Each structure stands twice: as structure tokens, then as C-alpha cells.
Amino acid sequence: MIHARGANGGHGGVLLSSSAPLHRLCEAREGANEQTLAEKSTSRDRMHGFDTGAAGPQTGRKQVKDWRGICKDFPPRRATCSTEQPDRMSEHPANDSAADWNEALKESTVGAGGSFQAANVVGFSGDADRLNPQNWPMRKKVYTTALWALTTSWITFASAIYSTGTAQISQEFHVSYDVANAGTSLLVFGFALGPMLWAPLCEVYGRKWPALAPYFVSAAFAFGTATAKDIQTILITRFFAGVFGSSPISITGGSIVDIWSPRQRGTPMVCYGITIAAAPTLGPIIGGAFIASGCGWRWTEYLTGIVMMAQFALDALWLDESHADVLLTRKAHWLRTATGNFALHAKWEETSPTFRDLLSTYLVRPFQMLFDPICLLLTIYTSFVYAILYASLESFALEYGQIRGWGPVVSQLPFLALLSGCLVAAAANIYNNIYYGKKLVANNFKPVPEARLPPMMYGGFAFSASLFLFGWTSSKHVSSPWPSIVGVFLTGVGFTTIFQSSLQYLVDTFTHYSASAIAANTFVRSMAAGAFPLFVWPMYKKIGIDWGSTIFALVSVLLLPAPFLFFKWGNRIRARGEFSKLSTY
């Protein structure tokens, strides 16, 4: 049932029953005579086609199936118009009882009463409103999260698979290895710049197409790399593939927040985070297989473009919009068309920030937030571990390819140990959600950021130990490769616990400003991850993997106290921050 109050928040208003065979539209306004629309087939068609989730009104018979598609599971009923008791309705169910109907579909209310403005604000109707993404069926939430995770995974896959063809690119275009290797770094640099564009777009136009349209362009650039005739084309197309391909990286987190409640959100975020770690570990293995089979480096790029195009097609068909402000704006548009009451509007339309306003916010605020000690320290920590992940593309090739003389496929298999470590850490993060849930309930369902930190606190020790172990067992004098592979496994454990716990802590800490905090984190970590492959190879060649890894291990030891500091004094630190004080308890 859709109830629109009168202009003054009084009892005159519009009362509609949203049912499958709706027979008439009733409209009444305060201070005017009651006017009832004629019961004609055109009116019926119009209301049968009333779809609150659509982009705009439609005309003709085509509308009928849209509204019936939404309400086909509900019993038919009639609607009566009343200006005296707008909060009640004379209902005459044709088959099932009114109780059955009300259990299936609760009323959708426009406005909360009071002022003219509040009385005409369109909102969700509660737990039964199908338009609200928080009320989607569990199956839909799961496959939506899976689609977003896969979409992100293919672009991170693209960032790593290129590395296996670097030597061939260097030989084919007669450039140094470092120049050819820049293709990896430039794509990751694109990850840093792209979110500054796509995050504001998703706030204005929703999640789906601001993510998918650039993603399609990124897939096209992958084919451009595959057909390149010179090194300049490779580097340019790789950079723009990263810029456009970063759209799901910057938007997926918001989509997960749209559809999952804070208590449920932990596990989906962990599963999504696995894609960020898993895809770069699988990329070199698959790329090595293509190189070994004689397909050459170009087919690694063809494969990237093909899987991204296939994912785009799946997303276009199955993903639904989940941004609440955009959905309510569409709902208000439909209500205005159906009722003729053009005062109806979504809260978002009262401000309607322009793209320029949002661009300014997303460009300026993330850098302002880097002056917050929590955001700064966690961004440094996550950027470092993320950069080590991409440095592994070079260190593994040197250790297992050159020092141990393994082939192009076998030398990439240690990435499976890295992936195994990521999966073990993900299980630990999911288990920590039990602890977080208890803290959340005890705090009256207000987020408790510190409850996200235990995996990160223990994972930090695993990460530091892994770098020492890998460095001092990656030598010709250590005949067995297994100690270094154990180090690789611990790297996966440490990376995932630190990375995922940090992002969840940022979201809980900065609440309304979490998008800006994540944008700042994404920018810094992508710049670091892009820079590391450029100097890691020359550094390892000059001072050796042992001393190079020791330097990284010492840096990680310096960062170890950060989560312990926030676990003990985080609430006090947040209370002093301009952007974080809302999350104090």
C-alpha cells in the first residue's frame, strides 16, 4: 500500500494499494474536492505497469507485465479511496485473507508527517519492501556479491598475468627488462587514479553502470595490448586498462554495504577481499602455462580481454542497482507520474549534489583524511603489504626461475602456497566475525572497530617472520626449496589478515566518510604496489634476495605496534578526529 500524505502533513492525501489486478487509482488532495480517476482500462494498465524500481515511466500495454512481475506472488485485491482515514484501507481480498496479504507486502509510506517537505519524502517501507537491497532474498545477495567479486578479480588478474610475458616483450621490441616490466606498474598506477573518477559517478548514477561501462572499455584496452605493434602502445593501453578497470575496485565495497547489514557484512567482505589476493596469485601460473605452451605473451592479454568481456555480459544481465538514493529517486519519479503529485521526492533530490561537487569531495577529502593518525598508519601498513604482494611477482621469478632454474610453469607454482595462506587467513577473519558479532550486540549494534583487529595483530607477526624466512632460505646454499615456500605461505597469511582487517577497521571507524578513507587507502597502496616492481628487481640483483627481504622485514617490524595501539586506545584517538568521532562509544 502506498500512502502519500497531504501538503500540510494532514489527513488529506493519496492512498494506493499496490496489487496485481489493481482496478483503479484513487487520488485526493487536502483543500480540494475528492477526485477519482475513471475506471478505464488505460488507468488499469498504467497502474499495473507501476514499477518502483524502474528508471522511469512507460506507456501502453508493455507496463502490465512489469508490475505483475513484481506482484505475481501476491493475492489480488481492490483499493478504495478515502480522504477521512488515509492510514487505513478498505481491503477486499479476492482469494486470500488480508492477513496473508499484509504478511507478504507491507505498506509503503511516503513521508513521516509534519512539514510539507517531510510529508512528501519518499522512503523504503521497512522489512518487506523489495526495492530495498537490504531486503533482497539471501540467494540474490549471495550471487550479487559473487558477481561483484569476480568482476574485481579479473582486473587484478590482468595486473599479474602480464608479468610472465615480460621477458618475451623485452626481446620482441628490443627494450630492457625494466622498460617491459613497466607494463605491470602502469596498470596498477591506473588503479590509483581511476577511483577518483568512478567513485563520484557511482554516487550520482548508482553502482551498476558507473562500474560496468568503464570495465567494458578496460577489456577493449586488453585487446589493444594484445595487438600492439610497439612498446609505446603496450604501455599506454596497460595504463588506461588500469584506469578504466579500477571502477569495480572502487565501487564493489559500496555495493556490499548496500545489501548486507553491519552484522552480516564481515563474511562477504572477507570473501570479496580474497579475490584481490587470489587473482594476482593465479595470474602468473596461468600466464606461465601460456608461455610454456608456445602461445606467447599476446595470448595472456587475449585471455584477459575475453574473460572480462564475458564477465561484463554476465553483470549486465544479472546485476541489479543497489544504491539506495538512486533507487528512491526512481521510486519518487514513478510516484509523481502515477499520482500527479509533483511534490513527492526522494531525500537525495533535496540536495542533488552535482558531479563537480562530488568530484571535489572525492579529490580533496581523501587527502585530508590522510592527516588522521588512524587513516595514515593503516594506509601505510596496508600499502606496504600490498606492495610486497606485487614485489613477489619479481622475487619469485628471480628465486625459483633464475636461482633454482625452474621452468616457466613450475617457477610460478609457489604462488599456490601464497594463495593457500590467503585462504587460511580468510578463514581466521571469518571466525573473528563471531567475536565481532558479540561485541556488536553488547554495544547496541553500534560498530566496534577494535573488534576487527585481532587477526591483524597476530597476522603482523606472521608477515614479518615470512619475509625473514623467505630471504634467508632463498639462496643457492639452501638446497631445499621448502623453507622458502613456507615463507611464501606465511606471507599469504600475513597479507590477508592485515589487509582485510585494516579495510574493515577503516569502514567502522569513519562510518559516513568511509568511502573517502577507502579512496585514500586505494590511492596510496596502488601507487606503492606500482612502484615496487620497478625497483625490486634491480635491488635484488644488486644486494641479493636475502638482504633485500631483510630490509622489508625490518620495515614490517616497525609497523607491528600499529594494531595494538589502536586496539588499546583506538576509541580515545577516534574521539579527537574530525572524521572519526562519530564512531566513538
Give the integer Cα–Cα distance in Å for 393 and 110: 55
According to CATH, what is the number of the domain 133-321?
1.20.1250.20
Give the integer Cα–Cα distance in Å for 372 and 159: 30
Give the integer Cα–Cα distance in Å for 577 and 183: 39
Pick the closest to residue 149 from 269, 323, 259, 262 (CA basis). Answer: 269
Which residues have a Cβ under 8 Å from the Cβ of 544 and sit 6 or more positions away? 475
| Count of residues in the chain | 585
Give the integer Cα–Cα distance in Å for 408 and 341: 68
Phi and psi dihedrals of 97, rounded to 5?
-75, 160
- What DSSP designation does 512 have? G
| Superfamily name and number for 353-585 | MFS general substrate transporter like domains (1.20.1250.20)
- What DSSP designation does 401 have? I
Alpha-helical segments (H) within 340-453: 348-351, 355-369, 373-396, 414-442
What string of DSSP letters covers 471-511?
A: HHH-STT---SHHHHHHHHHHHHHHHHHHHHHHHHHHHHHG
- Which three cell numbers, joined as nine digits, stand for 490? 606465511
Phi and psi dihedrals of 346, rounded to 5?
-90, 155
Which residues have a Cβ under 8 Å from the Cβ of 568 and sit 6 or more positions away? none
Q: How many helices (H) and strands (E) does the chain have?
A: 22, 7
Pick the closest to residue 429 from 274, 556, 260, 250 (CA basis). Answer: 274
Find cell 628487481 and name the residue. 537
Per-residue confidence (pLDDT) for residue 582, from 0 to 100? 78
- Which three cell numbers, joined as nine digits, stand for 511? 562510518
Give the integer Cα–Cα distance in Å for 350 and 332: 12
Pick the closest to residue 107 from 77, 82, 79, 128 (CA basis). Answer: 128
Q: What is the pLDDT along the chain (585 residues), one digit of tens a residue?
A: 444 443 333 433 333 333 333 333 333 333 433 333 334 334 434 433 333 333 333 433 333 334 333 333 333 333 333 333 333 333 333 333 334 323 333 344 444 444 555 668 888 887 878 889 999 999 999 999 999 999 999 999 999 999 999 999 999 999 999 999 999 999 999 999 998 888 888 878 899 999 999 999 999 999 999 999 999 999 999 999 999 999 998 888 889 989 998 788 888 988 888 887 888 889 999 999 988 888 899 999 999 999 999 999 999 999 999 999 899 988 898 989 988 888 888 887 787 677 677 767 778 888 888 999 999 999 999 999 999 999 998 888 888 988 888 988 888 889 999 999 999 999 999 999 999 989 988 988 888 999 999 999 999 999 999 999 999 998 778 888 999 999 999 999 999 999 999 988 998 898 778 777 888 899 999 999 999 999 998 899 899 999 999 999 999 999 999 999 999 999 999 888 888 887 887
Pick the closest to residue 423 from 278, 319, 562, 307 (CA basis). Answer: 278
CB 275 within 8 A of CB 146: no
Q: Facing residues of 5 across strands?
A: 13
CB 548 within 8 A of CB 539: yes
- Which three cell numbers, joined as nine digits, stand for 379? 594506509
Identical fold for domains 133-321 and 353-585, yes or no, is: yes
pTM value is: 0.76
Phi and psi dihedrals of 92, rounded to 5?
-130, 85
Burial 231-254 (b: 16+ CB within 10 A, else e): beebbbbbbbbbbbbbbbbbbbbb
Per-residue confidence (pLDDT) for residue 117, from 0 to 100? 58
Pick the closest to residue 370 from 262, 508, 494, 510 (CA basis). Answer: 510
CA 461 to chain centre: 28
CB 454 within 8 A of CB 435: yes
| Single-letter residue type at 521 | N
Give the integer Cα–Cα distance in Å for 207 and 209: 6
Give the integer Cα–Cα distance in Å for 242 and 193: 9
Pick the closest to residue 496 from 288, 281, 285 (CA basis). Answer: 281
Q: Where are the domains of the chain?
A: 2-122, 133-321, 353-585
- Which three cell numbers, joined as nine digits, stand for 96? 486470500
CB 535 within 8 A of CB 463: no
